[in-house]
Chains A and B, each alone.
Chain A
Amino acid sequence: MLASSTVENYLKAIYAGAASLGNGQRLLPMGQLAAAVGVTPGTATTMVKTLAESGLVEYEPYAGVALTAAGQKLAALVLRRHRLIELFLVRVMGYSWDEVHDEAELLEHVVTDRLIERIDEMLGRPETDPHGDPIPNAEGLVKAQDAQTLLSCPLETTVTVTRVIDQDKEFLRFIEHHHLKPGEAIAVEARDAAADSVRVRGKNDQRITIGTRAASKLLVQVVQMLLLCILALPAFAQDAPTTQARREAPRTNLSGYMDFHFNNEEFTDARLDFHRFVLLVTHSFSPRIRFVGELELEHAFVEGLEEGGELELEQAYVDFLLDRSFNVRAGMMLMPIGIINERHEPPVYYGVERPFIDTVIIPTTWFEVGAGVHGEVGRGWRYRAYIVAPLNAAEFNADIGIRDGRQKGSESNVSRPAVTGRIEYVGFRGLTLGASGWSGRSGFEFRPRFDVPVSLAEADARYSRRGFEFRGQFAQVWIDNAGQLNDTLALRVGVNPNIGSALRGFSLEGSRRFFSGSRLGEVGGFARYENFDTQYRMPAGYVPLQEFDRDAWVVGANYWPDPDVAVKVDYSIVGNQSSVIRSPNSFNVGLGWWF
């Protein structure tokens, strides 16, 4: 069927109407189409039935209409003609941008494809028309526009007007008069919800206050500037969302985080280390059944029996979301212990390396197979409680405590499962209070078998507000039968490991972030004190080695060119109680990011 101007106008109206449909709504109601075309619903229905017979639309009685692929292409080609004609009239014929729409409405139906192709070529194959509307290509494909409205773009940030989505003549003249046409650089200074207004700073620092309705019709993009540092690019190139845009969440998502470090530690050579490469995959089987997987490559390289690198499955669980207060989780899970173990994305903490207490007392990243429940019981209180595989005491040592005892879900021995849990308060903005525990019997590997009961108790607090943040954490580990454990391991390996019966650590950290919201990003400084002793108590007959009674001052700074990218620098001064053995100080630089 040769498309008539009426057919083309219907297709255009369905095309435009479909763009305004809500999330999950596919069909354009007939009443809406009739209003757009300016006819009665009965007339619109008759025409739509004809279009359906031609294969240009799908029509469902009492539901609405949608374009088929053929109809979609035809509508896009009409828009291509319309927009190229508008641009031609402005650029070549000298029309003003507020008088071309009506001309184009007529001409779009009569010009030949050959003429349109010549116009396109003559204009240099433009991507947008005078109003900023995208021009479909000859195949009817439209390049996606990445834009926000003046209601959602960042405040006090230079943006470029890219599109005006209302072509009412008076509105276009208003826009032109106030230098808000596509291509103009402006900034939103303030939004006043009570007055429904937006104050804009434009050319020559002129201010104008416009209503939110008008502001919603102006699309803008954040200006991308050449930066002194390439790392700052993400601060400008990020995709800020469009406020009030409805969208359908993808069923499968890929995200992750990375950690790249330079470590210069006393007594050893400086190292560059791609410490962590972590990919997070999530999938929703349904709104109530979800999968989360986290695969981590540590130190960049893994080879058979290689001790340097590790490929670890840190999370792989399915969540059954039954109720806000009671949900079930099973698989490989993060132990709900402390601040860092469950919240370890590099941009969210200061310091290149994780705190010492979160390494030698709480063995982060601590993950294990098991199952459990979690939920929020109201007023900001929530809990997690899991049954998991226990630690393996045969791998404990004096230096880093229980860390090497993690079975990591690799054919984990669960003859005597462990329990772990956490209660947490998050009911006040910026404040998190938590208490965690872990208890299990860890001597399963020894023959004859004997028990090595291990318990861990932890409490933490974190408060952040207006750039200030305070963190405090305390953790203690008890290892019963440590004497028998040492004796048994001494017989096995020939050296007594001197494992303590209690390990203890605490840390206090204060920080301040500056320039929040600045276009050049943010800078923050911090100081942290840590005290940690892996031989806090020794079994009867054993004497603690003073070198394991350590403390550390860590001072440094973070620079965030984007809230999801952190450049870190710190200096760690580590001390111990030994008069013979010194703990190494270190200077560290890191780059971490989340996406």
Chain B
Amino acid sequence: MVVLMRHSIRLLTLVVIIGVVMSEGTALPAGASAKAGQDARVIEIAAERFAFTPSEIRVKAGTPLEIRLQSDDTAHGFHIVGTDVDIELPKRGRGVATVNFQPQAGRYTFECSRICGAGHEFMRGVLIAE
């Protein structure tokens, strides 16, 4: 038991140290890279097995959004849960998928809706309209 605890502590210590090291100097994610558009705010999202980047986007409620999605590998899906937004992203090098969305105040979970590999279920993010 003592040996197991020693190993657990060793493991936890390593995990915590690496976590702290990684968090230091880590800038906040850019959130959405936004550009001033004529009508809509442009949000650019990169998709790669098994993450969207950024995976956390904050916008002002009611702002019309033009969400542009580009894959760095295979075809992915982009579905905003609870809405009709569900589009497929072309594979790497085959273009950008665009969808318009005007969020009301609230949190919207978005997820990959096209099976993209063993870790597909991890591919989620959140759009926060405040």
Contact = CB atoms under 8 A, between A and B. Distances in A.
A426 B51 CA distance: 7
Contacts of A379: 28-29, 56
A8 interface: no
Most A CB within 10 A of own CB, among B29, B77, B113? B29
B42 interface: yes
A454 B4 CA distance: 8
Contacts of A262: none
B73 A423 contact: no
Contacts of A427: 26, 28-29, 53-55
Give the residue among A238, A241, A433 with the most B Cβ atoms within 10 A: A241
B40 to A, nearest CB: 10
Contacts of B8: 419, 439, 455
Contacts of A423: 15, 18-19
B74 interface: yes
A110 to B, nearest CB: 41
B63 interface: no
Given A155-B95, A244-B87, A376-B124, A594 B7 contact: no
B106 interface: no
A253 B74 CA distance: 16
B104 interface: no
A59 B128 CA distance: 39
Contacts of B29: 379-380, 427-428
B7 A380 contact: no
A344 B50 CA distance: 11
Contacts of B18: 423, 435, 459
Contacts of B72: 430, 464
B3 A324 contact: no
A563 B84 contact: no
B92 A516 contact: yes
Contacts of B102: none
Given A427-B53, A432-B51, A152 B119 contact: no
B47 to A, nearest CB: 10
B42 A193 contact: yes
A559 B121 CA distance: 28
A24 B43 CA distance: 26
B60 interface: no
Interface stretch (A286-294, A301-309, A533-541): A286-294
A522 B94 CA distance: 12
A344 B125 CA distance: 22
A344 B54 contact: no
A470 interface: no
Contacts of B114: 249
Contacts of B51: 380, 426, 432
Contacts of B99: 243-244
Nearest to B13: A457
Interface in A436-462: 436-439, 441, 451, 453-457, 459
Most buried by A among B42, B46, B66, B122: B122
Interface in B15-33: 15, 18-19, 22-23, 26-29
B14 A457 contact: yes
Contact of A194 (B38, B93, B126): B38
A154 B93 contact: yes
B12 interface: yes
Contacts of B88: 241, 245, 247
Name, among A23, A380, A419, A518, the residue most crowded by chain B CB atoms within 10 Å (CB to CB). Answer: A380
Given A193-B42, A255-B115, A152 B95 contact: yes
25 contacts: A193-B66, A193-B68, A238-B91, A243-B96, A244-B98, A246-B86, A294-B118, A334-B118, A342-B118, A343-B49, A344-B118, A345-B49, A379-B56, A423-B19, A425-B22, A425-B23, A427-B26, A439-B7, A439-B11, A441-B4, A457-B10, A517-B93, A517-B94, A522-B93, A562-B91
Given A324-B109, A376-B55, A425-B26, 11 more contacts: A153-B95, A241-B90, A246-B84, A280-B117, A290-B121, A294-B118, A423-B18, A426-B53, A437-B11, A437-B14, A563-B73
